Structure 1
C-alpha cells in the first residue's frame, strides 16, 4: 500500500502487483511485490514479462532465506530488472535496497527500523521499516 500511495502521489506510470507470475529468460517466478510499467497486465492479468518490471520486492522468511538472498536476485539480474529490494524481518524489519550494476545487484542503502529512508527510484518513496510487519 505504501508503494502504491507513493507512486500515485507523483503520478508514476506504474502498477503495484502482488504475487504475479513474472516470466524470466530462465523460467517463471512469483515475487512478493512487483512494480511494473502501467498497462503491463492488460493482455494477461496472471503474468507479465520481466522487461516490464521496474522493481521486485521479496519478503524474507525463515523458509525462503536462501532463495530470496541468493537465487532469486541472480535470476532477476539475469533478466535485467533494474531494482531489487529485500525486506528482512529478523531481528527487526529492515529493507535492503539494491540496483542493477554491470549485471549484478549492488546495495545502495539499508532502511532500518526507526529511521526514514528516502529513495528516488523507481519513483520518490520514503519508508520506515518499523511500520512493516508480517501479516
Structure 2
C-alpha cells in the first residue's frame, strides 16, 4: 500500500485544483477538473493528481476516463517521486495523446513546469517559480503563483 502524500503536497494539489476549476468556469470551458481520477493509457491505468477532462465524459460517471477525453494532467512532484514524475510518467501520458502536462515541483522552491505535446513528446513551454503569470491559453487561460500554492495560510 502506498502512503498518502504529505500535507504540502495535498495543499498544493488542492489549491491548484481550485485555480484550474475557477479558470475553466470563468472561460466557460466544457470540462471538469478532477482530483486523482483513473486515466486509461495504452500502457495501463495512471492516476494523476489532477486531470482536466471533457465534461461529456464525466456525465456518464465513469470509473476511469479514456486518455482521448483528457486535456491536461497535473503531477505534483515531491522529492521521493521526482525521478518518476520527470522521467517515467511523461512518455506514458504522451503515448495517450494528452495534449498538456503540468508538473508542480515542491522543492527546492515551488515551480510549475507547463509542457505541451509536440510530435509525440512534451516540450516545456513555461517554468513559473515566482509571481503571478499566465501559464497557458489552451484549453483555457490560467494564472497561478506556484509559491502561493504551497505556502501555509496564516
Give TM-score scaled by structure 2 length: 0.83
Unpaired runs of 5+ in structure 2? 1-17
Please list every run of at least 4 consecutive aligned residues from structure 1 whose deviation after the TM superposition is greater than 4 angstroms: none
| Pairing 1:47–2:49 present | no
Q: Distance in 1 between matches of 2:121 and 2:102?
A: 13
Q: Distance in 2 between matches of 1:109 and 1:44?
A: 33
| Pairing 1:75–2:92 present | yes
1:32-73 deviation line (CA, Å, top 9, x unaligned): 000011121233442100000000000001221122111110
Higher relative contact order (CA closer than 8 Å, sequence separation 6+) = 2
Conserved in 2, the CA contact under 8 Å of 1:98 and 1:109? yes
CA RMSD in angstroms comes to: 1.4
Q: Hey, what does 2:129 align to over in structure 1?
A: 112
- 1:61 is aligned, of 78, 82, 85, to 78
Greater fraction strand: 1
Q: Structure 1's 23 and 10: CA in aligned 2 closer, same or farther, altered over 3 A?
A: same
Greater fraction helix: 2
Aligned residues: 134
Give TM-score scaled by structure 1 length: 0.94
